[in-house]
Structure 1
Amino acid sequence: MVIAASPDYLAQHGTPHQLEDIDNHSCIVGYRRGQPLSWRVHVGGEPKRISPPGTHQISDGDSIVEAALAGLGLCQMPMSLVRPHLATGRFAPCSMTFHASSSTCMLSGRRWRICDQKYGTSLIPSWSLVSKAD
């Protein structure tokens, strides 16, 4: 997962550098069953969920990306959806003292951990992970 925005939005509103800075930004959040979705971040190596201001609540991931590209605010989306826009400069990642967390998803009936690195994603079968955090 990555928190990103259009360069135009960041030029007008500034780049959030601290977690608390997000409260002063327009955020485009997903929602499910009428409830806004939280964002997952790591602060000091610890996972944390935050509830950003839901300036815009959209239920479709592609539409969230399009809204952010149009300059409506920050979004947190999987790297797979924002990578092409980061590569072309239409999106800028927010460099902060915290970072978005990795995700777990179902793929062909097995759990896989998506490990996002700066601009790449690798799939690692969850049964091969050896970590006290898991």
Structure 2
Amino acid sequence: MRGRRRKDKDGNIRLPVLADFSSIEVFVAIMETRSISKAASRLNTAPSVVSHRLTTLESLAQVKLFNRTTRIVSPTEAAERLYRHCIEIIHRIDAAEQELWGANAVLSGDLRIAAPVYFGMQSIAPILPIFIRRYPGLNVSLQLSAQAANLISEGIDLAIRFQGKVDIKNGDRMILENERVFCASPRYLEEHGTPQVPLDLQNHDCICSSTPVPFANWSYREKGVAGVIRVLPMMQSDNVLVMIEATRQGLGIAQLGRRVIEPFLASGDLVTVLDAYAPDPNYLIATAPDSNYMPQKAIAFVDFLVEHLAKPRGVG
């Protein structure tokens, strides 16, 4: 992408600030990672190359874009303004390629995906090689974390998350509905009895997701009416696998997704309880950094997940 030489306000001849697409890529990478070294890693080049390109860009722009220390790269107000335009340029180029080649487009470049740890291990990892073989031009990176990714700062192209509702206006794309159940081991129920109504849970040991407060609010539904019961966790974890194992070994009752415990239900290690009071489902959704635009490579991965994972029963 070559631009014509232009005159600045003093009549001096200078190159356009974004003389080629690589300048845009470098600038966006620095903005989204807040790091020269991380930007270099994303672009598969040396930090010195990124630093030099940034210096050249600032020189052409005749404005400081980043405040840099040995550890921190923070954008200036000018960089924030420029970033919005650069993202629009990238989206327009991507849209133009999609329109030009349509279904025959060859997807290429980096695809950085963030997903919950256990879901990623159980459901994405086994089928990811199929996707990679289908689109060999993509360099796929899967980041598994218990924490929701900051899409912009971490340079994530697509986040896979569980949440209580699907917000189409916010750019959410639903992959599947996630059925949730109460469950326990037969051993635990033999020793402590089986709860008959949600209020009984207050007299049981409960295994919960980590909460910032000493108690946990568990939702349930009774004859179509939503309710909440406050329970005191005897154990908490931000890892579903830890919760499953504790439940399987008889430490208490948990509220989990049915599909994630399906193998243990089939083996008899776990059973469901309070089926008449099962909570509302939540949803596995995909979201991109820009709520108004999802790149074609991200759409391809979401379509792939829907193709392989969407079933009547949810994933937890």
Q: TM-score range by the shorter chain?
A: 0.7 to 0.9
Match of 2:266 in 1: 87
Structure 1: gaps (5+ residues): 111-119, 124-134
Report whether the alignment pairs 1:12 with 2:175: no
Match of 1:99 among 251, 260, 278: 278
Structure 2: gaps (5+ residues): 1-179, 289-301, 303-311
How far is 1:37 from its partner? 4.5
AA at the equivalent of 1:11: E
Evaluate the alpha carbon distance shift between residue 69 and residue 50 of structure 1 in structure 2; reply closer, same or farther with a 3 A threshold. Answer: same
AA at the equivalent of 1:101: D
The answer to whether the Cα contact below 8 Å between 1:19 and 1:96 also exists between their aligned partners in 2 is no
Report whether the alignment pairs 1:39 with 2:218: yes
How far apart are the structure 2 equivalents of 1:50 and 1:107?
29
The answer to whether the Cα contact below 8 Å between 2:182 and 2:275 also exists between their aligned partners in 1 is no
Evaluate the alpha carbon distance shift between residue 70 and residue 104 of structure 1 in structure 2; reply closer, same or farther with a 3 A threshold. Answer: same
How far is 1:97 from its partner? 4.3
Bigger CA drift: 60-69 or 93-102?
A: 93-102
Evaluate the alpha carbon distance shift between residue 37 and residue 61 of structure 1 in structure 2; reply closer, same or farther with a 3 A threshold. Answer: farther
How far is 1:65 from its partner? 0.6
- Give the 3-state SS of the residue equivalent to 2:247 in structure 1: helix
Match of 1:121 in 2: 313
The answer to whether the Cα contact below 8 Å between 1:19 and 1:97 also exists between their aligned partners in 2 is no
* Aligned residue-pair number: 113
Give 1 or 2 for the bigger CA radius of gyration. 2
Evaluate the alpha carbon distance shift between residue 70 and residue 122 of structure 1 in structure 2; reply closer, same or farther with a 3 A threshold. Answer: closer
Evaluate the alpha carbon distance shift between residue 83 and residue 14 of structure 1 in structure 2; reply closer, same or farther with a 3 A threshold. Answer: same
How far apart are the structure 2 equivalents of 1:122 and 1:18?
24
Spell out structure 1 runs of 4+ moving beyond 4 A. Answer: none
Query: What is the TM-score normalised by the length of structure 2?
Result: 0.33
How far is 1:91 from its partner? 0.2
The answer to whether the Cα contact below 8 Å between 2:184 and 2:248 also exists between their aligned partners in 1 is yes
How far apart are the structure 2 equivalents of 1:95 and 1:38?
16
- Give the 3-state SS of the residue equivalent to 1:62 in structure 2: helix
Match of 2:253 among 71, 74, 81: 74
How far apart are the structure 1 equivalents of 2:243 and 2:314?
23
Match of 1:25 in 2: 204
Query: Between Structure 1 and Structure 2, which shows a larger proportion of helix residues?
Result: 2
Match of 1:53 in 2: 232
How far apart are the structure 2 equivalents of 1:122 and 1:19?
22
How far apart are the structure 1 equivalents of 2:185 and 2:251?
8
The Cα offsets for residues 4-56 of structure 1, whole Å up to 9 and x where unpaired, read as 00000001101101111101100001114x34553221122112232222111
Identity %: 26
